[in-house]
Amino acid sequence: MNTHQRVHVRMHTLICYLISPYFENGDLFDALRSDNGDNILLDWKTRLKVSYQIACGIDYIHTNNLFRGTILHVDIKSKNIVLDNKFNARLIDFGLSRESMTGSNITTAPLAGRELYRPPGVHKTSPLLDLYAFGVVLREILTGLGPEGTCRSQIPLGLLDMVNFEDMIQRRIWTIDNVWKSVSSIASRCISSVDDDETSDQISSALIRTSLKSILIKESIQKWTVLDDNNCEICIVNGQLETARLKTRGIVIASSSSDVRRLPSAVRVVLKP
């Protein structure tokens, strides 16, 4: 998907910025690795919240609308999931993403370094492959391991059977059996959907999102942790910096009509709402 194809029709040429919040807690991959000691950064409730938020992101891009088709991320992995200072998660890096107007398969070349998040020998990208990768991420969240698994097993997380996988669960973090078993079941369904025709017909990003949401509700876990009650998280532009940069282009932000009348006629004006 090319970014320029999604530019707003009212955006002026060469006067646009791609703005992102700062993610203080880095990526999910490193956060999970840091939980091997006594201090737990991501408890099971936080991990469950993160899982749900990423499922919401996947469901959003997989759901087409009047303006675009289904977006296939193609590169879902724990390194591409970032965490803000309240451990809310975002899915990033859409550089390899593809748009499918029909939701059908798209043939892609093998992606070097991403084999652990893809089923062996499959080069056709479909929504199910995004779900497979998400299933591997869920297993990382449950075990604290990387997608390669352990040196002892020498089997990637995505290829482990249910019995061997459950032996690797971080029980000191996932202290409620029913919770981790439910998440483990969702992960296995995501992973098996690529090879199992019956499962693939019954699984979707919407179903995964709904399944995780039901666990959150049952355990009374917030779906999102608000950063600041006094500010909208969408309004992330630094006001002073915005004003300074606009002035360099001969643009002045005015707060009222009376301010506009006092400005030279040659100056372009943006009236604050």
Mean local confidence (pLDDT), 78-107:
84
- In this structure, is the dihedral angle defined by the CA atoms of residues 52, 53, 56 and 62, taken in order, positive or negative? negative
pLDDT of residue 261: 45
Query: Could you give the CA distance from residue 106 to residue 123 in angstroms, rounded to a whole number?
Result: 8
177-192 helix and 205-218 helix, angle to the nearest 10 degrees: 180
271 - beta bridge partners? 254
Residues in the chain: 273
Instruction: Express as a percent the part of the chain with pLDDT over 90.
Output: 43
Nearby residues of 206 by Cβ (< 8 Å), 6 or more positions away: 59, 62, 63
Say what the pTM is: 0.77
Per-residue pLDDT at 124 exceeds 90? no
Residue with tokens 């942790």: 225
Active site residues: 75
Query: Could you give the CA distance from residue 182 to residue 192 in angstroms, rounded to a whole number?
Result: 15
Phi and psi at residue 229, in whole multiples of 5°? -65, -20
pLDDT of residue 13: 62
CATH class of 3-218: mainly alpha
Give CATH 1.10.510.10 domain extents, the chain. Answer: 3-218
What pLDDT digit, counting tens, does each position of 17-61 carry? Answer: 667 778 999 999 999 999 877 788 999 999 999 999 999 999 999
Split at pLDDT 50, 70, 90, the class of 5 is: low
- Cβ proximity of 113 and 103 under 8 Å: no
Split at pLDDT 50, 70, 90, the class of 259 is: very low
